[in-house]
Chains A and B, each alone.
Chain A
Amino acid sequence: MATANVASHGATAHDHDHEHHDNFITKYIFSTDHKMIGKQFLVTGIFWALIGGFLSILFRLQLGFPDMDLTFLKPLLGGWIDEAGKLDPNFYLALVTMHGTIMVFFVLTAGLSGTFSNFLIPLQIGARDMASGFMNMLSYWFFFVSGVIMFISLFLENGPAGGGWVVYPPLSALEQAIPGSGMGMTLWLISMTFFIASSLLGGINYITTVINLRTKGMSFSRLPLTIWAFFLTAVIGLLSFPVLFAAALLLVFDRSFGTSFYLSDIYISGEGALPNTGGSPVLYQHLFWFLGHPEVYIVLLPALGITSEVIATNSRKPIFGYKAMIISMLGITILSFVVWAHHMFVSGMNPFLGSIFMFLTLIIAIPSAVKVFNYLTTLWRGNLIFTPAMLFSIGLVSFFISGGLTGIFLGNSAIDIQLHDTYFVVAHFHLVMGSASFFGLMAGVYHWFPKMFGRMMDARLGYIHFWLTFVGVYLVFFPMHYIGIAGFPRRYYSWTNFEFSNMYTDLNMFVSAAAIITFAAQFIFLFNFFYSMYRGRKASLNPWRSTTLEWTTPLFPGHGNWPGEIPSVYRWPYDYSKPGAKEDFIMQTVPLSATPESNLPHEQELVKLEKEIIAEEEEVLVANESKES
């Protein structure tokens, strides 16, 4: 970064005098520059991904090697490893819970959406910065505080929250039921409150920026699909996170102020009957999944947006069905709010509701299918360049198919009776939401690294990272389908208590070994990421020969992104390999009037309109020049 910093001063000093006011604190810590905030989200997200991944390795050790002596972990885990070298079952549950919470919220929500919405929205729509740089900064620091609190909870004597990442009451409300529901759960709730605030601040900003700050000519129908995805993601988050807040607030009341929103008819062994009556644990589930399901799309849509961009660029072809892609995403956005109860088919809610939600759930599979077919058609007769980002995008499509198809089983309430809360579900969501979104994140990092740091990541390390991770993820999650069909329940410390699940020790060992290797492979990425930041090859201005606006900025864009005027936009972002064109891409900033050789008939019409815009622009330029002289 040091070199990057010097270079950016050199390149932009003439155009941006406010650049000089930055000191270390305002530039790197309390920055209001969307690019720096995006990087802050990214680095924090990577930190959390490592913690979350490490936790999963710990519980995979227990599941794959149940007889293993874990005494060597005692320096780290202390009392959670007992005399015999076994992991404590309560801590096992805490590990599962924290892995889920961290991965879903801190890595795939903040780390993915936070990074790329911040970094790309102003750059791709042609804006100087977010609508409110200050709110944007707050958004990051709320997330940071939330992370600090969650991190502290990992080290509590009674352990962090342990009721599963969904923290269903009464388990999460009663300290007597599980030690993690004491201080650990309190900190979980406080942390999530900060996180929700962070998401809302970020979301409002993304929405406002996309609606108001698009550059001249950047109509909604010319937005790159990334921006559409970030925009819709922000809308989903804005509408659903408050409901999670409501659920959490009522839980706080039940835990601390003796209310009975979720509690009823409870007898605690060794303590007696509790006074709470009339509450409903199912109410919490409804509120939770009203966020929880849209949350799936909050983590998935940005990944799909990034993939659309990367696949189009590296196929040297326009994304197939741009409008269909937007309509699918709109469909997913709307439908994501009316499918939540498919997580609750056997929760005891009215079976009639189950029927309704089954129909709605399977409708949402249609736009998802359309997206897959469009990706495939984009690859068809392309001229494919396998950059690491492209590899990760193709990997994403594969996971999206594999995990999406198993969703058709789970969305069918009759089949879900058997599969609910088994490893089939674990396999399903780790592929479709976990791994797919993670691959979207990786694709984004590899693709926009040159824009973030002015240097290239090493491609070959990227290939190795991709192949190890891609094969590794399948080796970890594909066998879980078999285990799930065999009925193995989730969140089990050990399966040997039951006849029906007293098998597959070999397969579980295999899964654990694959998980360890896959996790280890991520260090290749880490090395590549940090090494390339300082020592990577210098990037060219548009290394992927892409069409979108961010590649028209200087190598190290200053605060404000473009020296001088923000460029205007004259065409959609996917003019790749247009017949008649000299190059195999035409940037969005190239007027249609400059490319008569490649214009399509309807574009020829637009040339006239365009001339007016250009005339206007010239006026501004002349005015500016006269000011300067």
Chain B
Amino acid sequence: MYGFLIAVGVLLLLSLIWMVYRIQTLVSVVKGSDKKIASSSNKVNALLFVVFLFGAGGLMFWYSIKEFDNYNLPLGSEHGAVTDQLFWITMAVTGVVFIITHILLFIFPYKYQYSEKRKATFYPDNNKLEVIWTVVPAVVLAILVIGGWKAWSDITAPAPENAHVVEIMGYQFAWEVRYPGLDNVLGDHDYRLVNEVNNPSGVDFTDRNALDDFTSPVVVIPKGEPVLFKIRARDVLHSVFAPHMRLKMDAVPGMPTRFWFTPTKTTAEMRQELGDEEFVYEIACTEICGRGHFSMRREIRVVEPAEYQEWLKEQKPYIVNNPALVENLPSDLKELADITIGEYK
């Protein structure tokens, strides 16, 4: 059906073009307008620029205001407030430039359209003007950059000591989440230890820090406390993108990366604020990684700190769910592992 419609549309368009073309050629020959420097089309084109200016400009304002709540994502992190502010300041500055330059660009064609009576002004240069519009953008940009630089330095500074560590590992096509357990230290990992059935992160259980590491289907984090995402990938590049947290960092095989932030609203608070019971914080992948790139979803659940502590206590380490993981450990570690398993039973 669509194919047929498109074919008809194309045919119509082609015949239309042909007719317009023939008619206007004949008309222009009759009128002799092709001998003139600027035909009557000059006026039409000049006018169309003004029409475009007001038409497109109006459309832009209308849609930008109408859709504001739709494209403006709810914000859930501390640093996000800073980057959002920078975004909107930049929007204001560039918006003014955008509007002024476009008014000039589309009004000039109308105002200075060709006339036989007039001669263009010979105005080849003006160093003063050049200096002004070199220096002014330079100053404005410098201010914007300094703001961005400060924010960037703060965001990328080392995470606070007390940050809750969560490891997020990308693979085709999902995220594996690992918590360090009660010691808040992640155990070592080695990609050669990966076992898709019971050890997708390649955790090295000969490291005693790994014994209480656990996984979770949802990234649970406390509100108001710093959280450090330790990010890596085990096959190709991925990128952790938590749009509501204004967080993005590539996951690189062979090179661990990180991003720390402080969530400001629990999922429940956000639901209430937005009046949307379905709302969830999400993680998506923003580095092309293959067939399932568009489906690497993980949920982030932000909870009150007390609730987080509760939740932590309920989680069971890898080795409790899968004692086979520690079967071949050296005897001293095996003993320790057995004690850990015992504690959770």
> Which positions in A face B, CB cutoff 8 Å?
68-69, 72, 89-90, 93, 163-164, 168, 170-171, 174, 177-178, 263-270, 273, 277-282, 315-324, 346-348, 351, 354-355, 358-359, 362-363, 365-366, 369-370, 372-374, 376-377, 379-386, 391, 394, 397-398, 401-402, 405-406, 408-409, 412-415, 417-418, 420-422, 458-461, 463-464, 467, 470-471, 474, 478-479, 482-483, 485-487, 489-495, 497-501, 503-504, 520, 523-524, 527, 537, 545, 574, 576-579, 584
Contacts and interface: CB of A to CB of B under 8 A. Distances in A.
A489 B242 CA distance: 11
A322 B125 contact: yes
A304 to B, nearest CB: 15
A412 B86 contact: yes
A406 B37 contact: no
B250 A346 contact: yes
Most buried by B among A270, A315, A409, A415: A415
Most buried by A among B9, B202, B244, B289: B289
Contacts of B295: 497
A374 B171 CA distance: 50
A282 B250 CA distance: 10
Contacts, number: 367
A177 B172 contact: yes
Contacts of B159: none
B288 A318 contact: no
Most buried by B among A320, A418, A576: A418
A405 B100 CA distance: 13
Contacts of B129: 321, 373, 377
Given A263-B254, A268-B235, A417-B83, 5 more contacts: A267-B171, A267-B235, A384-B108, A401-B102, A584-B120
B336 interface: no
A523 B14 contact: yes
Contact of B194 (A264, A273, A348, A376): A273
Interface stretch (B110-118, B204-212, B216-224, B320-328): B110-118
Contact of A164 (B126, B134, B145, B288): B288
Given A379-B105, A418-B248, A422-B286, A577 B121 contact: yes
B71 A485 contact: yes
Contacts of A461: 17, 20-21
Interface residues of B, number: 124
Contact of B293 (A385, A398, A493, A578): A493
Interface stretch (B46-54, B160-168, B178-186, B311-319): B46-54
B125 A171 contact: no
A93 B293 contact: yes
B98 A402 contact: yes
A315 B38 CA distance: 12
B307 interface: no
Contacts of B3: 72
A359 B149 contact: yes
A38 B121 CA distance: 35
Contact of B114 (A372, A384, A418): A384
A543 to B, nearest CB: 10
Nearest to B24: A460
Most buried by A among B42, B196, B254: B254
A323 B114 CA distance: 27
B82 interface: yes
Interface in B104-140: 104-106, 108-109, 112-115, 118-126, 129-130, 133-134, 137-138
Contact of B246 (A279, A369, A418, A491): A418
Most buried by B among A348, A397, A491: A348
Given A171-B237, A383-B115, A458-B21, A500 B38 contact: no
B191 A500 contact: no
Contact of A320 (B123, B234, B291): B123
A502 B11 CA distance: 36
Most buried by A among B115, B156, B280: B156
B251 to A, nearest CB: 8
B103 to A, nearest CB: 10
B114 A385 contact: yes
Contacts of A402: 98
A415 B86 contact: yes
B302 interface: no
A401 B105 contact: yes
A520 to B, nearest CB: 6
B278 interface: yes
B120 A382 contact: yes
A489 B241 contact: yes
A324 B114 contact: no
Most buried by A among B56, B73, B280, B291: B291
B86 A486 contact: no
Identify the 7 closest CB pairs spanning chains A and B, nearest first. A264-B254, A351-B156, A487-B243, A72-B3, A412-B148, A414-B151, A348-B257
B252 A355 contact: no
Contacts of B90: 408-409, 412, 415
Contacts of A415: 83, 86-87, 90, 148
A376 B104 CA distance: 7
A499 B147 CA distance: 32
A464 B20 contact: yes
B124 A482 contact: no
A412 B334 CA distance: 51
A474 B56 contact: yes
B253 A384 contact: no
Contact of B123 (A263, A318, A520): A318
Contacts of B151: 414
Interface in B227-245: 234-237, 239, 241, 243-244
Contacts of B292: 89
27 contacts: A72-B3, A170-B253, A177-B236, A177-B290, A263-B253, A264-B254, A267-B191, A273-B191, A273-B192, A282-B252, A362-B142, A365-B141, A379-B105, A379-B109, A398-B106, A406-B94, A415-B83, A420-B248, A421-B287, A463-B45, A467-B48, A470-B52, A474-B56, A486-B71, A520-B9, A574-B124, A577-B121
B52 to A, nearest CB: 7
B116 to A, nearest CB: 9
B255 to A, nearest CB: 6
Given A277-B254, A355-B153, A379-B105, A366 B138 contact: yes
A386 B46 contact: yes
Nearest to B193: A273
B238 to A, nearest CB: 10
A509 to B, nearest CB: 13
B309 interface: no
Interface string B275-303: 00011101011111111111101000000
Contacts of A467: 48
B294 A495 contact: yes
Nearest to B150: A414
B48 to A, nearest CB: 6
Contacts of B93: 408
A490 B282 CA distance: 16
B185 to A, nearest CB: 21
Given A409-B94, A421-B286, A354 B109 contact: no
Contact of A491 (B104, B145, B288): B288
Nearest to B3: A72
A460 to B, nearest CB: 5
Nearest to B63: A482
Contact of B10 (A318, A406, A520): A520
A385 B42 contact: yes
Contacts of B333: none
B155 A417 contact: yes
B85 to A, nearest CB: 10
A66 B153 CA distance: 41
B235 A177 contact: yes
